Structure formats: C-alpha cells, structure tokens
Structure 1
C-alpha cells in the first residue's frame, strides 16, 4: 500500500505538491493522472525516497522507503527507463541490483524471461530500442517480487504486443493482491487498466475516484442524439427551461438538459416516432480534459 498524507513539496518559493492526500490500495490498479507540471513525477520521487516532502508523510507498506531494509522487496518502480549505464548488459544491470537486496540469481533469469528479454540479455543496454529499455525497466521493478509496483509511462515505445503484455501484467499483479500505481498520458490505455484514479493539477488533488464515476460525472448533460422523421415537431415539444435543442450536420437533433429516458417519454406522449435515441458517450480523455482545464500549467499561448 502507498499512503500519501497531506504532502507538500516546495522548491524555494515554488510549491510543486500542495497538501496531497491519497491511498493506492492492494488489489487495485491506481491510475495517477495529471497534466504536465502537475507534480506527478515529484510525488513518485517522494514515494521512493528520491525527494523528501517539505511537510506531510509518504509511506510504502507502513514505512518510509528509507526505513525498509530491502526496499526492492517492498516496492518496484520504473521512473526513467534509460537510467541504466549504456555499457552494461541487461543481465549485469539486473544482477547488480539483485545483489544489493539479497535477491537470488534465479530471480534475475525469471524477470528477464518474463519481460521477453532472453535473446538480448547479454547485449549492451546502450543498443536497446526504447521499447526494449521499457521492458528492462519493468523487469527491474519486478526483480524483488514486490508487494507494490509503481510505473511511470510503462508502455512508452512499446509495440501493440508489448502494450497488451503490460496491460495483462498489471491486471494480473493487482489480481494477486498487489498494489499497482500507474502514471500515463495514454487515457485510452488507462481506462482499460485502472480500477481507481487519482487526478492532480498544480500539485493539488482534483479527483480520487473510479474510472466509471469520473466518466459518468463528466457525461452528465453531455447531450442526447435523437433521430426522427418529425424532427421539427420534436424540437417544439422538447423545448423548455434549461433545455437546448440543436440540429446536427446530418439533420438529427442534439439535446442537452434532458436524459435519454425523458426525451423518449416526451416523444411517446406526443406520438412522435424515433429511429435513434442515444446518449453521447464520454471518454476518460474527455473527462480528464474537462477536470483539468483550469489546472494546466503549460497551455497554448494566444497569438
């Protein structure tokens, strides 16, 4: 479990993380989302002890990272896949990490096979593609068979097969009861993997919820698409306070301010046949953009 309790981090006069409070629980994949500059990287660095909070506390399985005698057995992290000496082989890199935490050599072989790196294990990391580097970083994160796994942009540079591998891997780790925390800018992939979302902006917590709840809330009032051969008459009977009805490019109606059920009931009462009645689906990306639109630090500058 990862527990972030009222954590603030300042660099000089700049507050990067501001009273952040959330928990990543066992048995779940927690999606950690936010715009560029939101404070995600700083928060993850504090979780594994690379930065210290100005105030508040960050614990992994009940202790600060530095208090664990063998931290790789507690939490495995991938923050920067290229943070490996380019002259080392994948095997020597992993074996060096293993020796610092009392991890047996057989575990190195296991994670190399798990990550699909067997054929390149003795090759220098400097010659690795971006995707191969990501696989090595994930192998390193899993080296200690940890109860907590935290990955930053793990599918960056992977091909479709690799993306599917990561998706199944993380879901499987959560199903085993482990804590999985995932930071990504790929909303479509996060929507497929995450059970729980923590969204931050300008260092502050914006949402601590499920994917379904966030999307549902963003979709309220998103609009109903209605098709009828009596569109003009339908427009008239739907009109009312708080209701907006507009014609789409293909002649159908876009209605906001009423639910699909309410539109259907009004049409039925007025004997108006419908050939389409659907709610516009809202994606996680749309929900995220709506939630964070006032928390974007690096936005487009008007000309």
Structure 2
C-alpha cells in the first residue's frame, strides 16, 4: 500500500506537487494520470526516496521507503528504463541488484524468463532498443518479488505483443493481491487495465475515483431520442439513476442511465412513437481531457507558419 499525506515538493518558487492526499490499495491496478508537468514523475520519485518532500509524507507498506531494510522486496519501481550501465549485460545488471538483497540466481533467471529477455540476457544493455530496455527495467522491478509495484510509462517503446503482455502482467499482479501503481498517457490502455484512477494537474489532486465514475461524470453513455411526445416520454423514462435532459418544447431528449434498447422497449409499451435513437459513449480519453483542460501547462498551437512562406 502507498499512502501520501499532504505530499508537497517545491523547487524554488515552483510547486511541482501540491499537498497530495491519496491511497493506493492492494489488489487493484491504480492508474496515475495527468498532463505533462502535472507532477507524476516527481511524486513517484518521492515515493522511492529519490526526491525529498518539501512537506507532508509518503509511505510504502507503512514505512518511508528509506526505512525498509530490504526495499527491493517491498516495492519494485521502474522510473527510467535506461538507468543501467551500458556495458553490463542484462543478466549481470540484474545479478548486481540481486546481490544487494541476497536474492538468489534462480530468481534472476525467473524474471528474465517472465519478461522475455532470454535471447538477449547475455548482451550489453546499452545496445537495447527502447522496448527491450523497458522489459529489463520491469524485470528489475519484479526482482525482489515485491508487494508493491510502481511503473512509470511501462508501455513506452513496446510493440502490440508487448503492450498486451504488460496488460496481463499488471492485472495478474493485482489479482495476486499486490499494490500496482502505474502511470501512462495511453488512455485506451488505462481504460482496459485500471480499476482505480488518481488524476493530478499542476501538482494538485483532480480526481481519486474509478474509470467508470470518471466517465459517468463526463457524460457517460448518453442516448439521444427524438419523439413528438417528449413530455410523456420523460414520465415513462423517469426512475432511479436515470437523467433526462432537453429543452422545453424540443422533440429531442438526452438520456443517461438507460440503454437504447431499454428506452425503445419502454416507449413501445406506452405507444410512444420514436423517430431516432442514437447512442454516444464518452471515452476515458474524453473524460480525462475534460477534467484536465484547465491544468495543462504546455499547449501546442495549430496556427503554424510554414518557413519561407508569407503568412
């Protein structure tokens, strides 16, 4: 379990992380989301003691990371895949880490097999592709068989097979009862793998919720229905968990909380003619963009002038 209480990090006058409170619980994949510059990497660095908080605290399994006598057995972290000696082989890199914690050679061989590094285990890690470097970083994170696993952008550089492997790995670790904390900019992957979400922007907590709750807050699944008897239709569709909106006098209603099929069946039971049923599903990406719109520090411009051409 990871627990942050009023966690703060300042660099001079710049506040990178601003009084964060959150808990990452075992048995679930928790996605850590936010725009570039939101404070995600800084937060992760503070969790494993690479940066000291300016205020507040963060613990892993009840203790500050530095107070664990065998930290690799408590939390496995991938923060920068290329943080390896380029002249050292993948096997030797893992063995060097294993020696610091009395981890046996057979465990090194296990994680090499688990991460698909068998064919390159004897090769110099400095020549690895980005994807193979990610696999080596994940192998190092899993080396101590830790109760908590924290990965920063683990799918970077991976091919489709590798992305699927990561997805299955994360869900499998959570199913084992481990705490899994993973950051990613790929909303499609987070929608598939995350049970819970922590969203930050400009260093502040924006949401601590589930994927479903975040999507529903942004509009969720909405059905647009047209009829010339919208007043009766409103009455027929009303019920717990159902929201019906639409301008007075309009022949169009927007309904959340019921599927197109359910709306059609209710209308038919009451003899209400329908002219249109159209479903709209809000994606996690759309919900994320809506939530973080005012917290994005780096905006690209679409008004680009081509060099050498008059504006």
Identify the TM-score tier after normalising by the shorter chain. 0.7 to 0.9
- Give yes or no for contact 2:16–2:202 (8 Å, CA) kept in 1: yes
Is 1:104 aligned to residue 104 of structure 2? yes
Tell me what 1:243 maps to. Answer: 246
Within 2, Cα distance between the matches of 1:59 and 1:259? 39
> Which SS does the other structure have where 1:161 is aligned?
helix
Specify whether residues 258 and 192 from structure 1 end up closer, same or farther in structure 2 by C-alpha distance, changes over 3 A only: closer
Tell me what 2:118 maps to. Answer: 118
Deviation (angstroms), 1:301: 4.6
Deviation (angstroms), 1:75: 0.3
Deviation (angstroms), 1:267: 8.2
- Give yes or no for contact 2:224–2:255 (8 Å, CA) kept in 1: no
Is 1:272 aligned to residue 273 of structure 2? yes
Deviation (angstroms), 1:256: 3.7
Deviation (angstroms), 1:217: 1.4
> Which SS does the other structure have where 2:69 is aligned?
coil
Deviation (angstroms), 1:223: 4.5
Deviation (angstroms), 1:242: 6.0
Tell me what 2:223 maps to. Answer: 224
Within 1, Cα distance between the matches of 2:118 and 2:267? 64
Within 1, Cα distance between the matches of 2:170 and 2:120? 23
Specify whether residues 158 and 62 from structure 1 end up closer, same or farther in structure 2 by C-alpha distance, changes over 3 A only: same
Deviation (angstroms), 1:58: 0.6
Tell me what 1:287 maps to. Answer: 287
> Which SS does the other structure have where 2:294 is aligned?
coil
Within 1, Cα distance between the matches of 2:63 and 2:192? 31
Within 1, Cα distance between the matches of 2:268 and 2:297? 46
> Which SS does the other structure have where 2:207 is aligned?
strand
State the superposition RMSD in angstroms. 2.7
Specify whether residues 87 and 255 from structure 1 end up closer, same or farther in structure 2 by C-alpha distance, changes over 3 A only: farther
Between Structure 1 and Structure 2, how many residues are aligned?
A: 290
Counterparts of residues 1-303 of structure 1 (less than 5 Å): 1-219=1-219, 223-226=222-225, 233=228, 243-244=246-247, 255-256=253-254, 271-274=272-275, 277-301=277-301
Within 1, Cα distance between the matches of 2:173 and 2:114? 13
Deviation (angstroms), 1:86: 1.2
Within 2, Cα distance between the matches of 1:74 and 1:199? 24
Within 1, Cα distance between the matches of 2:255 and 2:172? 41
Within 2, Cα distance between the matches of 1:64 and 1:271? 63
Within 2, Cα distance between the matches of 1:286 and 1:67? 41
Give the TM-score taking structure 1 as reference length.
Answer: 0.87
Deviation (angstroms), 1:224: 2.6
Within 2, Cα distance between the matches of 1:51 and 1:76? 17
Deviation (angstroms), 1:202: 0.5
Within 1, Cα distance between the matches of 2:29 and 2:257? 32
- Give yes or no for contact 1:223–1:255 (8 Å, CA) kept in 2: no
Deviation (angstroms), 1:206: 0.6
- Give yes or no for contact 1:243–1:258 (8 Å, CA) kept in 2: no
Within 1, Cα distance between the matches of 2:27 and 2:134? 24
- Give yes or no for contact 1:5–1:21 (8 Å, CA) kept in 2: yes
Specify whether residues 260 and 167 from structure 1 end up closer, same or farther in structure 2 by C-alpha distance, changes over 3 A only: closer
Within 2, Cα distance between the matches of 1:201 and 1:294? 8
| Structure 2 gap segments, 5+ residues each | 235-243, 304-311
Give the TM-score taking structure 2 as reference length.
Answer: 0.85
- Give yes or no for contact 1:237–1:266 (8 Å, CA) kept in 2: no
- Give yes or no for contact 2:9–2:55 (8 Å, CA) kept in 1: yes
Specify whether residues 263 and 112 from structure 1 end up closer, same or farther in structure 2 by C-alpha distance, changes over 3 A only: closer
Specify whether residues 257 and 165 from structure 1 end up closer, same or farther in structure 2 by C-alpha distance, changes over 3 A only: closer
